[in-house]
Structure 1
Amino acid sequence: MSTSQQPGAPAPMTTLDVDRSDAEYRAWLKEAVRKVQADANRSADTHLLRFPLPEQWGIDLYLKDESTHPTGSLKHRLARSLFLYGLCNGWIRPGRPVIEASSGSTAVSEAYFAKLIGVPFIAVMPRTTSAEKCRLIEFHGGQCHFVDDSRKMYEESAALAVQTGGHYMDQFTYAERATDWRGNNNIAESIFRQLRLERYPEPAWIVATAGTGGTSATLARYVHYMQHDTRICVPDPENSCFFDGWVKDDPECTSDCGSRIEGIGRPRMEPSFVPGSIDRMMKVPDAASIAAVRSLEQAIGRKAGGSTGTGLWSALKIVAEMVARGEKGSVVTLLCDPGDRYLDKYYSDAWLAEQGLDIAPYTAAIETLLATGVWPDPA
């Protein structure tokens, strides 16, 4: 007797049912998510430091000090969000490595979270990454995998994920979507909460450099969502395409080489960089970034990384414009990571000479501004 369906006969009542749940995996997943969330619960909020400006200007300049996170940088927030995103999407699995393309600080933070939940971690990084960052990645149990051309990090990371059966985290794609920009104690909500009792609680500008672009997207989206008048400025270092791509509205814009300022600037327009959310961009010379970060140490006694200098230079330029217009208000920028990771670079005169960088005109420009309120042309 044939088992085929006869013409005109009703379709058989067939149920397709595939169950991929696994009790052991679900127990591991619940524990991994708990550990990552517990890390956030243990961590106090980061400080909002004041940069000293002449009182008569009526302007307050703040630095959100992200270097006090457990892994010492702004990227701790991002890594936590990326791990929760990857875990809840079912991408991160027990025993399988997490792989990331990173110039250092994100990899340090991700190595920390990988160790926390007990999975291997591999960082794919430019060979020029600072030795201290490499040491910290290995301290947290991660491995360093170097590439000679920073533009090759993406494909090398994806290939390693295929070879190992692991998960390529891909911060440059997922940074802007892994973070809850509406609130949940993100960096924007934290800044506005900390400013609540200051004389200018709604800053005129927030200045945030871009590596993935996720932080600037979070700040801009939060400001728009909460209907604040604050504007967002993104400074860009040399050898990065973000500024040109933003000005030309060109998502295909690229740069021929990598940024000297670790952690920010990219050779391509990253998916997490959201140009339409940003109000202003500045192109900042690398020598200006280094001059600013050294001036920061003179002003508040704290060393910071080069990306902090890029943001501070732009924030000081905005302050000078406000002084010239007679405006009062506040400006916020970020202290992204500690300077002890870069003693052999941004704090080394020998490295500056090797790179052909002269910071003297930019240092003089900052000194002139703080003494007179006038922003000189350092060229």
Structure 2
Amino acid sequence: MNGPAIAVTGLGMLTPAGIGVEATWEGVLDGKPTAATSAQLAGLPVDFCCSLPPLDAADVLGRRTAHRLDRSSQLAVIAAKEALRNAGLDPDTWDGARVGVVIGCGVGASHTWETQGRRLQEFGPRRVSPLLLPMIGPSTPAGEVALACGAQGPSLATGTACASGATAIVIARDLLTSGQCDVVIAGGTEACNTPLIVTGLAQLGALSVRCDDPASASRPFDQARDGFVLGEAAAILILERAKDAVTRGHRPRALLAGCGSTTDAYHPTTPHPEGRGIKQAMLTALTDAGMSGSDIGYVNAHGTSTRLNDAVEAHTLRAVLPHGPQVTSTKGVLGHSLGATGAVEAALTVLSIQHSLIPPTANLTTPDPDIDLNLVTKTAVRQRVAAALSNSFGFGGHNVVLAFRTS
């Protein structure tokens, strides 16, 4: 990568495995699936998902702030505040004009859309909240994070479907290397475990239908996989130029070494059958990082638990990384949080590098015989990870690969 080294100096996460980075990391290492039947999905063909543990947003953010935010924005703000604490940064002391925010979201404010839509139909227009438009805008999570943190630099929203959170990290890197910002708060958020979104995904045939055993439904790369499980999450990474972090006395968790972004231009929802866009994104990330494939010791795969996506990704991984690095998908535990998942998995990849631990792929009991990967199963593997890739792919053919290395 041309330009200054970019450091990850802070992390914030809320996922179905736990509230906060430590709780999430412990849950992912434990490998226990979080999918469960959901009361709000009762009566639907797919009535389960991966939900956050109980969270009182009003207690964390204050009642008035929580009231005016959709759940997706609530999660983004809470994760951002944890990430800033983790990075040792105080918004009261920085130059806000030099701080940027980039937040990805794939679907957006579905809780607010559905709730307010029902109010209109059942009670008429007077019962629709005057806050509706400020709550549902695609840029709202980024704007609210900027407001909460006093970030007055560029504030952007990325929308590349399930790669949105990873795209946000790519844009953040560019803001730092161009000199526009000194700190960027970047990541993704998604909270759409709602009846309409679940129904739409089920109608598309994308979701697992194991309603009798939700915990075993998300099974990336397994022979018996039958679709993904929808999840909700938010993850924020604090990115800075490495030299700036060192100057202020903060040791980076890892370095963002390279990025690769491509588009399949093949089909609205189906990946290219030969994985051409995925392959090019991986190769671009490696070139950008100044690495060869043999440098990669671990891949946090997109691994959705769908028949075609897992097969295409596995074939491409084998072609680009024939030496067989360790591969895992954390969606077996967390489900698929759409626009947030790229940021969640980037954060988990950073943690793997920092702690020399690779999480297992939950529910991977019978690996697909057509998938030839060095898959981590059952228990976490302790292994030094000098360099790793985090893969994110989305509807519309969006492909983003992030390369991380030790600091």
TM superposition score normalised by structure 2: 0.27
Identify, as 1 or 2, the structure richer in helix.
1
TM superposition score normalised by structure 1: 0.29
Identify, as 1 or 2, the structure richer in strand.
2
Asked which structure has the greater RCO (Cα within 8 Å, sep 6+), the reply is 2
Larger-Rg structure? 1
